Chains A and B, each alone.
Chain A
Amino acid sequence: MAASFGVSSAAVQAVKSSASPLPSPPVIRSEARPISGRINRSRKAGKIATHAVAARTENPASAASKTGHEVLLFEALREGLEEEMERDPRVCIFGEDVGHYGGSYKVSKGLAEKYGDLRVLDTPIAENSFTGMAVGAAMTGLRPVVEGMNMGFLLLAFNQISDNCGMLHYTSGGQFTIPTVIRGPGGVGRQLGAEHSQRLESYFQSIPGIQMVACSTPYNAKGLMKAAIRSENPVVLFEHVLLYNLKERIPDEEYVVSLEEAEMVRPGKHVTILTYSRMRYHVMQAAKTLVNKGYDPEVIDIRSLKPFDLHTIGNSIKKTHKVLIVEECMRTGGIGASLTAAINENFNDYLDAPIVCLSSQDVPTPYAGTLEEVTVVQPPQIVTAVEQLCR
């Protein structure tokens, strides 16, 4: 049992009862501006090439961050977490091995020593219950961040996430808000096996009342973490197992990114490629090849999986008239399926060709490396799809 349990009740009461929340930091928002200053970044994520494509126009965010500091993605997440915990004593973390162990991906390393065992709570292996506990705590005003050691484990907590997290604000007629953040690594890793390579965004997307975001760079990881913690709505933050060691220079000053905005990775004019999380890097690698072949793809990292940023997406479609969706979740009932429906409903007039959606195969992820590679979308497939679309 560690020394400090919880926080002084005075501090918590003060925050609970104050009508206006704590002062906001200067916000550096990503306003559909080209963001990638990829030249600075070195990636260790396997065979994906670095220096995919240079940004077309000036990148103010990147210029501002030349004076920033370099972090790996998991460190960026931790910075975001730590800053929010410092700022608001109601923020706490629940999860397996988040405390003394420091988190299985080191996202909460050092936080238990700093904030104590009650604020960084090592839970037993009981996803259903500790997610339920987080919801109960959130009903009284605390702001728990729940970590699923692997997103796949949160399937055990589906009832709590769907019924209690998502619906309590509605069924109580607005009396209770559930400001929880549910986060964890998901996605197909390196031969982790079927049960540890799940993409839960397709299962959760129907739940009314939650927001879903997927981070892909250290910059947006920290920004999304902070925004998710500050949001009064329950937010599910999807991280990816293979992206934790991405390095990027991020600003020193405090910033938050918008939960509902998509990120313009590479502006272009021939085709709109919509993607998120790890597939962004496959797309950017394919984009390098495409540029060499003379194509000019516009790459958008949709980031917000629920709700979709139809504003940014729509503006892009109006320009290019062709859409390619590249996602890691499975074809059936995936994010791409919903996005296709949403685009068809809203922007049908602007489309010159049917929407092409590249998703993972509808199979449990096999262990064998060669099979696993074929399960997810690879850059050559993206190149072929664009060539066919732009024919």
Chain B
Amino acid sequence: MAQLTRRAAALNKSLPAAILAARGLATASTSPITVETSLPFTAHKIDPPSRSVETSSQELLTFFRDMALMRRMEIAADSLYKAKLIRGFCHLYDGQEAVCVGMEAAINRKDCIITAYRDHCIFLGRGGTLLEAFAELMGRKDGCSKGKGGSMHFYKKEGGFYGGHGIVGAQVPLGCGLAFAQKYSKDESVTFAMYGDGAANQGQLFEALNMAALWDLPAILVCENNHYGMGTAEWRAAKSPAYYKRGDYVPGLKVDGMDALAVKQACKFAKEHALKNGPIILEMDTYRYHGHSMSDPGSTYRTRDEISGVRQERDPIERIRKLVLAHDIATEKELKDTEKEVRKEVDEAIAQAKESPMPDPSELFTNVYVKGLGTESFGADRKEVRTVLP
């Protein structure tokens, strides 16, 4: 969490801004502040956690900066898409930043996160850099997947981020597999398998949930309910839109996904639960400002009033801003300066990414198979010389 901002600060070349950032963090204390979440948690077959969340001024500033960075990145990706530098599918996360940032605050890098295609910000949260993100979006070789994955295939092995998946719902069984491996290795860590309200109707979800519950796997299924499965509203797709209750025998918790602190509390609670008792479902009530992807205007199935209403009343960044100002952690100007800094960072990363070259044509054939097998043999490409592993 704080690492994202620290690394971002290191990238920042302008000295006054660096001092500003440093000052902001240095003077922010870690002494606890207790904040009440604006909405209570709704629980299914479990006692909900308390509404009082412990945080600190440093954490709140980090939340603000990280979310501003993510927001800026997504808006920049929007412009890049319109400029045809990003092609294909581009699913943007703006509006949902609190889910990602709150989750990161509650866990560590040994815990795994796996999600679907709306993965840019989660990638950042797990330690990915802006350069890797933009380069991948533009298909350059400095991208996190060497330009061969694209928007829907961001991965960060060292950060415990397992992607980045294009087929709706297919990542949830994978997530349960990650949890299985964690249980197998007795890691004491958990997996957050994220999916959307649209994916919640996939059969494989229930299959995976059944197995996770059967074997007490430390899997936490997080439904990011932004109320629309592409163009279909949740009430038109699901008989029971109470996704946190869908686990039936698996406990669930409904969380205000626009409140980073509520998300943090819920994830912390879920992690403790999963390590002891097996799976739990978290439903994050959130909202996306953009359409489903850049090919979708997002206004044919919802009104502009609805979108601007949510932006005015529930925007996650505004909430943290109000909290920060209310607790006198920083001034209005300092926050605006942070936003300007963040904007500059993003612009620099884009400029750097634009200079990154396209992948070499030979990269077409690399990483199809792993060269060098565990046995004395030919490689999968028969023309390759026999390999013997040490």
Contact = CB atoms under 8 A, between A and B. Distances in A.
Asked if A and B bind, the verdict is yes
B114 interface: yes
Interface in B167-203: 167, 170, 172-187, 203
Contacts of A229: 374
A133 B377 contact: no
B148 A132 contact: no
- Max count, chain A CB within 10 A of own CB: residue among B153, B181, B389: B181
Nearest to A175: B157
A232 B210 contact: no
Nearest to B367: A174
B166 interface: yes
Contact of A230 (B164, B172, B375): B375
Interface residues of B, number: 64
A12 B184 contact: yes
Contacts of A29: 376-377
Shortest beta-carbon contacts, A-B, top 9: A136-B177, A132-B173, A230-B374, A136-B174, A126-B207, A133-B177, A173-B145, A9-B186, A129-B207
A329 interface: no
A209 B373 CA distance: 14
B160 to A, nearest CB: 9
Given A174-B146, A175-B157, A132 B375 contact: no
Interface residue SS majority, chain B: loop
Contact of A233 (B145, B185, B370, B378): B370
A213 to B, nearest CB: 11
Given A130-B173, A160-B170, A259-B377, A177 B210 contact: no
Interface string A124-164: 10101111111111111110000000000000000110011
B184 A172 contact: no
Given A24-B374, A132-B172, A133-B173, 13 more contacts: A27-B375, A118-B215, A123-B211, A126-B207, A137-B178, A139-B162, A140-B112, A140-B178, A170-B368, A232-B372, A233-B369, A258-B378, A307-B381
B22 interface: no
Given A126-B207, A132-B173, A118 B183 contact: yes
Interface string B354-390: 0000000000001111101111111111100000111
Which of B144, B145, B162, B377 counts the most A-chain CB atoms under 10 A from its CB? B377
B376 A124 contact: no
B287 interface: no
Given A136-B162, A171-B149, A159 B170 contact: yes
A92 B184 CA distance: 10
Contact of A231 (B144, B178, B179, B374): B374
Given A139-B178, A171-B145, A307-B382, A232 B373 contact: yes
A339 to B, nearest CB: 14
A68 B150 CA distance: 53
B102 interface: no
Given A173-B367, A230-B373, A139 B174 contact: yes
A7 B380 contact: no
B105 to A, nearest CB: 23
A163 B181 contact: no
A196 interface: no
B64 interface: no
A140 B181 contact: yes
Contacts of A177: 370
Interface residues of A, number: 69
Contacts of B388: 24
Interface of A: 5-9, 12-13, 16, 20-21, 24, 27, 29, 92, 118-119, 121, 123-124, 126, 128-142, 159-160, 163-164, 168-177, 208-209, 211, 226-227, 229-233, 256, 258-261, 307-311
Nearest to B184: A6
Nearest to B214: A124
A259 B374 contact: no
Contacts of B186: 6, 8-9, 12
A128 B173 contact: yes
Contact of B375 (A24, A126, A175, A309): A24
Contacts of B173: 128-133, 135-136, 160
A64 B261 CA distance: 69
A309 B370 contact: no
Contacts of B174: 132-133, 135-136, 139, 164
Interface string B142-163: 0111111110010111000011
A71 B236 CA distance: 59
Nearest to B359: A173
16 contacts: A123-B211, A129-B207, A129-B211, A133-B173, A136-B175, A136-B178, A140-B185, A170-B367, A171-B164, A173-B155, A174-B146, A177-B370, A231-B373, A231-B374, A260-B382, A307-B381
B382 A233 contact: no
Given A208-B368, A231-B374, A232-B372, A137 B180 contact: yes
Nearest to A229: B374
B182 A140 contact: yes
Nearest to B145: A173
A371 to B, nearest CB: 35
A159 B167 contact: yes
Given A129-B208, A258-B377, A170 B148 contact: yes
A136 B187 CA distance: 15
Nearest to A29: B376
Contact of A126 (B144, B183, B204): B204
A53 to B, nearest CB: 28
A311 B155 CA distance: 37
Contact of A9 (B187, B203, B210, B374): B187
